[in-house]
Structure 1
Amino acid sequence: MISEFFTGVRTLGRGFGMWRTHTKLLALGLIPAFIAFALLVAVLVPLALSLGAVTDWITPFADGWGQPWRQLLRVGLGIVIFIAALALAGAVFTALTLTIGDPFYQRIWRGVELALGGDEPQGKTGFWTTIGEGIRLVALGILVALLTLVIGFLPLVGGLLATVTGVILSGRLLARELTGRAFDARGLTTYSRSEMLGAGRARVIGFGVATQLCFLVPLGAIIAMPAAVAASTILARDLAERGALAEHAAAPTAPPPYTGPAEAR
């Protein structure tokens, strides 16, 4: 499982390697990523600046507490709120970027498929499918943010546990969304896609966690998004090939043809 996790991390590294070999192709994804990033910064910066007022409003019962307990409570609560906001931001950023830049990212994953060799999948994701997937991703991102917020209130370990939970669950969501186009091009059903993602769970989480951590680096999301789309194409291809091999291995072997009774000597 650990080996598979780091294979997922290295898959993102292969996506970043595409910047060296396919610079112009990946550069197509910078503009929509920058637009989505700017919109999120416009929301997150005011939230960060107003955290003090927000935590004061949420904890009026602590007004009579002595220092440093009142300050510790409100600072800890502010950190938890911001961690939950970042967990949601990753999902919103991905949904916005893929929706705004769908034509660009379609070209990126097709270019990666051609670079990897073999037959190019001919299917594609429609506009309304992209919108629906984006809405689903944001809705699940909200649930992850709420869960992260609740975990953050646990005594002592809440902040650390909330951070780890938020990164893992958000990464899992990102991986599923990013691989969607490559899976759709192969004509895979939702059930088949879920089955493949489940079979390669550790690898998927490794890729998703690495992507989410890159998104948390200032300006990292802009550079990482095209690389993540390229890497997700590699990941989807690997999972599809693994699924095909497993299906072939599980197929019953045909019995040898009947040749009739042996001739008497």
Structure 2
Amino acid sequence: MAGMKYLVEGQRWVARHRRQWGFGLLPGLITAAGYAVALVVLALRAEDVAAWATPFADGWSSPWAGLFRGALTALFFGGGLLLALLSFTAVTLLVGQPFYEALSERVDREQAREGEPVPESGLPLWRDLWISACESLAVLVRATLWGLLFFALGFLPVVGQTVVPAVGFCVSGFFLTEELTAVALQRRGVRLRERLELLRSRKMLTVGFGLPLVLLFLVPFVAVLVMPGAVAGATLLVRGVEGEQEREAVD
């Protein structure tokens, strides 16, 4: 619930700053158009790929071959959709890096206490883009490995169609939160390994923020609309975690 609260607060922030929200739509629209084309092609070709990958099923009696390949087609498309969900945020953040960086910094400025310095990376834009691209690729590789694992587990009876997808959504939410919090944490000089350790130490908070976004991203064009607010909410989440760390240090 705490994670969801940060997400809602982020949407409220962009609702109060409509100009920032408007500019934030452009990177998402560009990325969404490209992904829409790719997913349509995947949907049209998924059945052919399933048939090509299972030549051993050609001699199976009806309806088993059709049912097996139908399930494989669904899993293949689901894996592609999962990969799109995970990479959409990374690509959108990369395309809109200058804007989202400024948006996150403005959230920090508004929330900062009097005299509190606002974190700045101090790096040139090209360096920030390079670091962001490299770390996003590393996260995508990790997420892809999880996706392959869930794809294989999807063949398990009952569990593969119930528990595995549910866990998969939670893992997607974790990585989605990592991508969004990276905007604020990179300005603070926190690199990928440290970010993952930080989020793993607060798994419920992390999943609570990212899981609703994963579900929202399943609805066409919603991802584009909520991205600016998601970046703002992730910045608020980072500030909340920093406050917790300060209190823990004092205790």
TM (norm. structure 2) is: 0.89
* Alpha-carbon separation, structure 1, partners of 2:81 and 2:193: 29
Task: Tell me the CA shift for residue 142 of structure 1.
Answer: 1.7
Aligned to 2:120: 123
Amino acid in structure 1 at the alignment position of 2:225: I
Q: CA RMSD in A?
A: 1.9
Q: Which has the larger radius of gyration?
A: 1
Q: 1:20 and 1:161, CA in 2 relative to 1: closer, same or farther beyond 3 A?
A: same
Contact 1:92-1:137 at 8 Å conserved across structures:
no
Amino acid in structure 1 at the alignment position of 2:101: Q
Aligned to 2:218: 216
User: Which digits, 9 at most, give the CA deviation of each residue in 1:106-153, with x for residues without a partner?
Assistant: 111112223324235232372221121221122123212211211111
Aligned to 1:259: none
Question: Which of the two has greater helix per residue?
Answer: 2
For structure 1, the 5+ residue unaligned runs are 1-5, 250-265
For structure 2, the 5+ residue unaligned runs are none
Aligned to 1:73: 68
User: Which digits, 9 at most, give the CA deviation of each residue in 1:85-107, with x for residues without a partner?
Assistant: 12111222111111111001011
TM (norm. structure 1) is: 0.85
Aligned to 1:262: none
Counterpart mapping for 1:166-177 below 5 A: 166-177=168-179
Percent identical: 34
Aligned to 2:246: 244
* Alpha-carbon separation, structure 2, partners of 1:62 and 1:202: 42
The farther-off stretch of 179-188 and 86-95 is 179-188
What SS does structure 2 have at the residue aligned with 1:64? Answer: coil
Task: Tell me the CA shift for residue 162 of structure 1.
Answer: 3.4
Contact 1:80-1:159 at 8 Å conserved across structures:
no
* Alpha-carbon separation, structure 2, partners of 1:161 and 1:31: 36
Amino acid in structure 1 at the alignment position of 2:178: R
Residues matched between the structures, number: 244
Match of 1:93 among 88, 93, 101: 88
